[in-house]
């Protein structure tokens, strides 16, 4: 048999939230993204992290001016390489309403962007803001986007976070 241990403090937070709201609120950034591996980063002279494929309308990411083509490399100086790492770290360390600082690679520079996590909507609006024309790294983003579009046609999936 297999047993799992969960700290009572974590369990009580979930129980309290279930009693109060009837469900567990999940913190939400508001991007659709894809992983940029070391191989892709080298090939496209980029960084390892999460390529922002689109930004959800009225999301914390849009309010913080995250743009299509940005690559998220860290959250509160904790380096992340994949969407799965971001999601896991976010779920373990943050609640709705927390402020976080994302490290973003844009135009061959790393910048810090602060945003406030909001509650994940019951259904994410798939209509993203069109920030591609505002992105000064448009050529680099378009090259990565073309690559990811080809992968998407093959695998046909996105990650929403």
pLDDT in tens, 34-55: 999 999 999 988 999 999 999 9
pLDDT of residue 137: 45
Cite the DSSP H helix spans in 38-133: 38-43, 60-63, 83-93
Residue with structure tokens 């490290």? 103
Q: Is the pTM of the predicted complex or chain greater than 0.75?
A: no
Contact 51, 71 (CB under 8 A): yes
Residue with structure tokens 């770290």? 89
Q: Which residue has the higher pLDDT, 138 or 86?
A: 86
pLDDT of residue 14: 65
Residue 151 has pLDDT above 90, yes or no: no
pLDDT of residue 92: 87
Q: Which residues contact 115 (CB under 8 A, 6 or more apart)?
A: 29, 60, 61, 63, 64, 66, 99, 100, 102
Q: What is the mean pLDDT of the chain?
A: 80
Residue 127 has pLDDT above 60, yes or no: no
């Amino acid at each position: 048999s297999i047993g799992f241990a969960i700290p009572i403090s974590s369990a009580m937070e979930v129980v309290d939230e279930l009693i109060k709201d009837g469900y567990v609120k999940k913190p939400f950034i508001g991007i659709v993204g894809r992983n940029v591996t070391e191989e892709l980063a080298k090939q496209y002279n980029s960084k390892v992290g999460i390529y922002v494929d689109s930004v959800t309308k009225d999301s914390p990411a849009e309010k913080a001016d995250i743009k299509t083509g940005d690559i998220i490399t860290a959250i509160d100086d904790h380096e992340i390489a994949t969407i799965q790492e971001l999601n896991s770290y976010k779920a373990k360390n943050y609640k709705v309403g927390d402020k976080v600082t994302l490290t973003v690679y844009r135009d061959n520079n790393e910048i810090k962007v602060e945003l406030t996590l909001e509650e994940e909507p019951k259904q994410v609006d798939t209509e993203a803001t069109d920030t591609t024309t505002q992105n000064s790294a448009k050529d680099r983003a378009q090259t990565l986007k073309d690559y990811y579009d080809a992968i998407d046609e093959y695998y046909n999936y996105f990650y929403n976070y």
